[in-house]
């Protein structure tokens, strides 16, 4: 067997309605999904922790429903009543082992729960698993994990994409109805594309980063993956908003409202020509062109636009992100976090990080330290920061002409495990179309658009203005 049979599951609202109408019991749903997790994990290595205690929470929820302790007519609460979900193992969950997919943190137990996870739990969702990923999100294939590679449920020889590899693979395999990932340069969008799922990277600052292992703090965005388009706005409404623990979050009530929300057929779609240059596979290009023609056939206005500085996006990303990574790793010194392998502080620091940090973690720390070092910071870090600002201005200008941008997610479809692992540059190039949304902080939604000749999924992404998620939700309905 080289693949899993992919089950068909209903959307979140349908399941919640069935629970509220007493057609389904929460405990039966949770048992089914936990059983599925144990069944598929030996094949795809998607989960680092399966939370079997979730059955007890399900029983408690059923008892509250039966005893009338939950107001089933309350539309503001219990929007996720009884819904099983999973999270990338970068999210802290009180009392649950959180490894960040690195051997360095193999014994760490979280002391509190991440804000967005808690918001889902407060709405009645039940956490059933912590997902494998690249360590701290460092990677695009799931192969850098300290606990082994995640495999694509559609083809065990291929990557499900990264860094939120386990989140995508587990969801596709039928475990949970949604999964939380993180997106620093495409880490929920690439797996969605490679696995034929939907995903959202919200505007930077819309969702709280509190309680999530930091990769690059000015890029990191809590995102998520679903099986159904209509689940994306439902979940975003649950997770969004100001958090006193995260100073980068916004009070959405104080932001200008999206005026006169357009009907999906009135949205002007921009095609950035720089995203269709050399390097894009012919199969991805064909699917992209097909979708553009479908838009035109529906009478939707499509306009070619230019974002010239896009060509420097990957270079900017791989200077600024490793720089922030280098700074954020300082706390992992074997005292506050990590194993104690020696009595002397310096020896413990060096030996612990040398033995337990994965190779990609070391590589990015070294790149970042070099970029920030005396004599080189002006040449690399400061210049990259200026280009980042220029790219932001270009995006702002383009969004004066169009409502959304349509672009590929990746130049390629899911590739073989090990195919690019010995060539870091080739691996980094997989992110070429996703990093710009993180550099400028705009939202991006991925939807399944087609398949390649090996029947592997191809996703496309829709980007919009800051905090204009409602527009990209509408635009996605055109597909």
* DSSP-assigned beta bridge partners for residue 152: 155
Question: Could you tell me the two tokens for 445?
Answer: 């939604």
Q: Which residues of 232-262 are buried (b: 16+ CB within 10 A; e: fewer)?
A: bbbbbebbbbebeebeebbeeeeeeeeeeee
3.90.1300.10, 1.40.20.10, 3.40.50.300, 3.40.630.30: CATH of 269-476: 3.90.1300.10
First vs last C-alpha separation in the chain: 33
Q: Which residue has the tokens 């095609």?
A: 271
Spatial separation of the C-alpha atoms in residues 426 and 11, rounded to whole Å: 37
Residue 339 and residue 356 in contact, taking contact as beta carbons nearer than 8 Å: yes
Distant-in-sequence, close-in-space partners of 179: CB < 8 Å, separation ≥ 6? 85, 86, 87, 88, 131, 164, 167, 168, 170, 171, 224, 225
Query: Which pair of structure tokens corresponds to residue 123?
Result: 């709405």
pLDDT digits (tens, 9 = 90+) for 73-111: 888 899 999 999 999 999 999 999 999 999 999 999 999
Tell me which residue has tokens 């069944």. Answer: 39
Q: Which of 101, 163, 164, 208 is catalytic?
A: 163
Assigned token pair, 260: 């006169």
- Identical fold, 12-254 and 269-476: yes
Q: Any idea where the domains of the chain sit in the sequence?
A: 12-254, 269-476
pLDDT at 260: 64
How many other C-beta atoms lie within 10 A of the C-beta of residue 59? 14
Q: Name the one residue in this structure whose structure tokens are 């009645």.
A: 124
362 carries an active-site annotation = no
User: Which one is catalytic: 57, 88, 130, 465?
Assistant: 88
Specify whether the CB–CB gap between 132 and 145 falls below 8 A.
Answer: yes
Active site includes 101?
no
Mean pLDDT per block of 10 residues along the chain (479 residues) reads 96 97 97 98 98 98 95 90 98 98 97 98 98 98 98 98 98 98 98 98 98 98 98 98 98 81 88 95 98 96 98 97 96 92 94 96 96 91 97 98 98 97 90 97 98 98 96 95
Set 145, 187, 323, 421: catalytic member: 187
pLDDT tens digits along 230-245: 999 999 999 999 999 9
The dotted CATH code for 12-254 is 3.90.1300.10
Reply yes or no on whether 187 is catalytic. yes
What's the pLDDT at 76?
Answer: 86
Residue 254: both structure tokens together:
């104080």
Cβ 271 vs Cβ 304: under 8 Å: yes
Q: How many CB atoms lie within 10 A of CB 372?
A: 17
Q: Which among 468, 436, 478, 382 has a CA at the least distance from the CA of 202?
A: 468
Classify strands 269-272 and 302-305 as parallel, antiparallel or unpaired: parallel
Question: What tokens appear for 289 in the block?
Answer: 């062109």
């Amino acid at each position: 067997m080289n693949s899993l049979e992919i089950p068909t599951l209903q959307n979140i609202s349908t399941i919640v309605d069935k629970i509220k109408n007493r057609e389904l019991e929460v405990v039966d749903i949770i048992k089914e999904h936990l059983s599925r997790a144990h069944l598929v994990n030996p094949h795809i290595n998607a989960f680092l922790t399966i939370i079997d205690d979730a059955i007890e929470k399900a029983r408690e929820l059923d008892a509250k429903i039966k005893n009338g302790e939950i107001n089933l007519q309350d539309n503001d609460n219990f929007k996720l009543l009884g819904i099983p979900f999973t999270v990338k193992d970068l999210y802290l969950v009180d009392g649950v082992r959180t490894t960040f997919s690195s051997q360095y943190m193999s014994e760490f137990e979280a002391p509190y729960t991440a804000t967005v996870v808690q918001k889902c739990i407060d709405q009645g969702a039940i956490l059933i698993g912590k997902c494998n990923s690249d360590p701290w999100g460092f990677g695009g294939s799931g192969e850098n994990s300290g606990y082994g590679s995640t495999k694509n449920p559609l083809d065990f020889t291929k990557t499900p994409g990264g860094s939120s590899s386990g989140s995508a693979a587990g969801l596709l395999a039928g475990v949970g109805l949604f999964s939380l990932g993180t997106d620093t340069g495409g880490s929920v969008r690439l797996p969605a594309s490679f696995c034929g799922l939907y995903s959202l990277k919200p505007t930077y600052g819309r969702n709280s980063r509190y309680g999530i292992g930091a990769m690059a703090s000015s890029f990191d965005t809590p995102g998520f993956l679903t099986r159904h388009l209509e689940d994306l706005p439902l979940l975003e409404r649950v997770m969004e908003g100001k958090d006193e623990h995260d100073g980068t979050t916004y009070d959405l009530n104080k932001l200008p409202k999206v005026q006169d929300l357009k009907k999906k057929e009135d949205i002007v779609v921009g095609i950035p020509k720089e995203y269709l240059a050399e390097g894009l596979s012919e199969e991805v290009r064909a699917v992209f062109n097909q979708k553009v023609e479908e838009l035109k056939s529906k009478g939707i206005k499509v306009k070619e636009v230019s974002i010239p500085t896009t060509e420097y996006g990957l270079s900017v990303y791989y200077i600024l992100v490793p720089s922030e990574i280098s700074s954020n790793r300082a706390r992992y010194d074997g005292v506050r976090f990590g194993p104690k392998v020696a009595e002397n502080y310096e020896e413990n620091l060096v030996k612990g990080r040398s033995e337990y940090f994965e190779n990609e973690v070391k590589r990015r720390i070294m790149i970042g330290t070099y970029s920030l070092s005396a004599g080189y910071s002006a040449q690399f870090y400061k210049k990259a920061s200026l280009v980042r600002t220029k790219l932001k201005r270009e995006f702002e200008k383009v969004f004066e002409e169009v409502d959304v941008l349509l672009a590929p997610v990746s130049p390629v479809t899911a590739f073989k495990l090990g195919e690019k692992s010995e060539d870091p540059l080739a691996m980094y190039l997989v992110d070429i179309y996703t990093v710009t949304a993180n550099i400028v902080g705009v939202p991006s939604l991925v939807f399944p658009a087609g398949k390649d000749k090996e029947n592997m999924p191809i996703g496309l992404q829709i980007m919009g203005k800051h905090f204009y998620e409602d527009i990209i939700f509408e635009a996605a309905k055109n597909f």
